[in-house]
Structure 1
Amino acid sequence: MITTEQLYQHYLNHPVISTDTRKIAPGSLFFALKGDKFDANTFSEQAVAAGAAYAVIDNPAYQLNDRCIVVADVLIALQDLARHHRRQLTIPVIGLTGTNGKTTTKELINAVVSQQFNTLATQGNLNNHIGVPLTVLSINASHQMAVIEMGANHVKEIELLSSIAQPTHGLITNVGKAHLEGFGSIEGVKIAKGELYDFLATSGGVAFINSNNPLLMEMYGKRKFATPAIFYGDAIEDLISGEITENAPLLSLEWTNNTSGESHAVKTQLTGAYNLDNILAAISLGVYFKLSAAQVNAGIKGYQPKNNRSQIVRTQNNTLICDYYNANPSSMIVAIENVGKITADKKVLILGDMFEMGAEAASEHTAVMQKALETAVDERIFIGQEFSKAPQLLKSGTFQGTATTYATTDEAIEGLRSHNINGATILIKGSRGMAMERLVELF
């Protein structure tokens, strides 16, 4: 059976990886991964016929010719190949994880450091046990830096992904309530995300830490880092400090390089006060890697959010904050708080159910609904089975404005068709499975 080193020689000759027979790159290596409902071993012949140089399989029954390479386990072979490739690289690799803001922070960091370095960054949200190896294997000799996002819904996943990406620099955006079915509790989340700090501490890597976040500071304090950490926040002791100067709803901020004492202003295309931390993280990395303030600001100013993460959409009648890529209690609370802070004549919250809450579903949806009722907005619309179970809060009558619940997105669409909302700033947020994007056309 072929070794990782032997497989690596094939990779050097064919440095493009394919995992989908519908998107075979000519001359690529096809890895026959298994899914819940398919076994790609059965597609090996099709992959080769479509132009793959070799098909990597783990079922000898499908070894039809010498262009089929048999390994013990295709997924492990892919991960081992990526790990081996990473060991050959000498460039800085920035790894990041966190409950919220991973992808936005990754994109902001990429936008900044790309002003000076040829940078490869995780595409989309390919941040799991398959996506991270594919990202690492996309790094070639032209790249001067890499930014790799790592996600997890179980303990030990970040440990695995760190062993593959082997970041030289890293950060945790935050630690909050998400994937509680897998993590079990907020303590489980801290352990899981902290696996990145564990890797950096033992490998001599540099951690970038939000000094305003008490959980992150606690996690940092429990580990002995061989290399001093870099801090960002609002203290003059931090490398970078900053504050929001406008939120209407796009953010403007002023940031200070506390080493030089110089302050700089920048306008962004992002909404959400919670994004200040993500922006400062990107600025701190830019300053750390010796980019000029002009380069840093160009990266921040030029970043245009997409994929329905803190994305502003202006329609003929309203300003929409489209933030429905996903949702959990932590991101819901800060999104609601942000709407309370923004400058707008009329404000509306449209909130959909949060998934993967496990036994905490009822209490967490109640807490989010309570937060929405306490926030000064004109109208609140709750959508989903879980939100519909907590109507007793709506009967209190102690909140200003109005509140409505719908059991499903379909019911909400039907009800809102005849409910005109004009001249408002509207937050639309919910878990991906709620398909909240279907509501956009109504406003």
Structure 2
Amino acid sequence: RLTAIARPDVGVVTRVSPAHLEFFSSVDEIALAKRELIEGLNGRGSTAVLNADDPRVAAFGPYAPGRVLTYGIEKQAFFMAAEIEDRGALGSAFDYLSPEGRVRLELAVPGRHAIGNALAALTAASVWGIGAAEAQSVFNTLRAPAMRGELLRFSNGAALINDSYNSSPAALQAMTELLAATPNFHRRILVAGEMRELGTSSPQLHREAGQFAARTGKVDWVIGVAGDASEIVEGAVAAGLSSGHSKFFQTPQEAAEFLETLVSPGDLLLVKGSRGVKMEQIVDALIARHAAPGEFSRQEVRH
């Protein structure tokens, strides 16, 4: 109904993943809902921008009424990234391949998943003739917004990735990869709140998230907060993480009290969870505890 009202000229679909499963019977049903955007584009003059790396999204192409442009990292596409240098929370660099040619781009926004988002934006921007040169000038100034992957540094050498705005299984995996890939830290601590709206698949999806964290071999602590996040802890221990390096807390306040004593110089924390869990309370508590007056960069604290 929204596409019938707006009649968009360009539609972008980045991925289909198990989110909001409480309201859908399967991931395939989520895909059908997202496909409606492509089917509702504004006729033959419209452009569908699709992620070639996601098989469900790539399959939307025949349903587009106009032109289809694809982007990707793993699969062949019109717009691609290659020779990726993943710096974790510090950003990335990659070769951008497009009909214009090949150019090296720097991206300050953290995480490998941000490269896919950048490719989606570059592909959509190409519709209006915006190329790599213009994009790089924008990428140089991009920073993660508050509670969406912002990097907070403390005066004692510890740091925190604040991604507490929301969570889903795919997003948690992407941020866990980011945590594991960030160099030059002594310990990496995952603090994961319950992911909501996952229906009957919730326990399994939480458990798989914990297993993934443990199997990176780079996550030293896993802390779950509220509800089914207990399954994250259990999954991590089942996949090989020491039970002495895992904890579950019912509330963010309890988790914050524990973390205030756990965090030491050289630690990197990732705090992530659905909005209903209020994981930002953990972030605020750690700022209050570990940021000495006048020593913490207020430009990096954007609440």
Bin for the TM-score computed over the shorter chain: 0.7 to 0.9
Q: Is the 8 A contact 2:10 2:49 kept in 1?
A: yes
Residue 375 of structure 1, CA deviation: 2.3
- For residues 389 and 309 of structure 1, the distance between their equivalents in structure 2, rounded to whole angstroms, comes to 24
- For residues 164 and 68 of structure 2, the distance between their equivalents in structure 1, rounded to whole angstroms, comes to 33
Bigger relative contact order (CA 8 A; separation at least 6): 2
Q: Do structure 1's residue 421 and structure 2's residue 260 form an aligned pair?
A: no
Q: Is the 8 A contact 1:385 1:408 kept in 2?
A: no
- For residues 316 and 175 of structure 1, the distance between their equivalents in structure 2, rounded to whole angstroms, comes to 40
Q: Do structure 1's residue 271 and structure 2's residue 271 form an aligned pair?
A: no
SS at match of 1:335: helix
Q: Is the 8 A contact 2:87 2:182 kept in 1?
A: yes
Counterpart in 2 of 1:280? 119
SS at match of 2:60: helix
Residue 292 of structure 1, CA deviation: 4.2
Counterpart in 2 of 1:168? 9
Q: Do structure 1's residue 314 and structure 2's residue 153 form an aligned pair?
A: yes
SS at match of 1:249: helix
Within the candidate set 31, 38, 54, 1:213 is matched to 54
SS at match of 2:170: helix
Residue type at the aligned position of 2:246: A
Unaligned runs of 5+ in 2: 291-303
Residues 264-291 of structure 1: CA deviation (Å, up to 9, x unaligned): 322x231111111101111222333222
Q: Do structure 1's residue 350 and structure 2's residue 157 form an aligned pair?
A: no
Corresponding residue pairs, total: 281
Pick closer, same or farther for the CA change 1:422–1:165 going to 2, 3 Å: farther
TM-score by length of 1: 0.59
- 1:1-80 to structure 2, matched below 5 A, reads none
Residues 364-385 of structure 1: CA deviation (Å, up to 9, x unaligned): 2112122222222121111112
Q: Is the 8 A contact 1:344 1:425 kept in 2?
A: no
Within the candidate set 362, 384, 403, 2:226 is matched to 384
- For residues 277 and 205 of structure 2, the distance between their equivalents in structure 1, rounded to whole angstroms, comes to 17
Identical amino acids, percent of aligned pairs:
27
- 1:116-127 to structure 2, matched below 5 A, reads none
Q: Is the 8 A contact 1:172 1:209 kept in 2?
A: yes
Residue 235 of structure 1, CA deviation: 7.2
Residue 428 of structure 1, CA deviation: 0.7
Pick closer, same or farther for the CA change 1:405–1:281 going to 2, 3 Å: same
- For residues 134 and 159 of structure 2, the distance between their equivalents in structure 1, rounded to whole angstroms, comes to 30
SS at match of 1:271: coil
Q: Do structure 1's residue 407 and structure 2's residue 250 form an aligned pair?
A: yes
Residue 354 of structure 1, CA deviation: 0.7
Residue 239 of structure 1, CA deviation: 3.1
Q: Do structure 1's residue 328 and structure 2's residue 177 form an aligned pair?
A: no
Counterpart in 1 of 2:66? 227
- For residues 108 and 148 of structure 2, the distance between their equivalents in structure 1, rounded to whole angstroms, comes to 12
- For residues 182 and 302 of structure 1, the distance between their equivalents in structure 2, rounded to whole angstroms, comes to 38
Q: Which has the larger radius of gyration?
A: 1
Counterpart in 2 of 1:434? 277
Residue type at the aligned position of 2:272: K
- 1:177-188 to structure 2, matched below 5 A, reads 177-188=18-29
Structure 1 segments of 4+ aligned residues over 6 angstroms from their partners: none
Q: Is the 8 A contact 1:287 1:296 kept in 2?
A: no
Pick closer, same or farther for the CA change 1:359–1:246 going to 2, 3 Å: closer
- For residues 394 and 206 of structure 1, the distance between their equivalents in structure 2, rounded to whole angstroms, comes to 43
Pick closer, same or farther for the CA change 1:203–1:325 going to 2, 3 Å: farther
Unaligned runs of 5+ in 1: 1-159
Residues 71-126 of structure 1: CA deviation (Å, up to 9, x unaligned): xxxxxxxxxxxxxxxxxxxxxxxxxxxxxxxxxxxxxxxxxxxxxxxxxxxxxxxx
Residue 169 of structure 1, CA deviation: 0.7
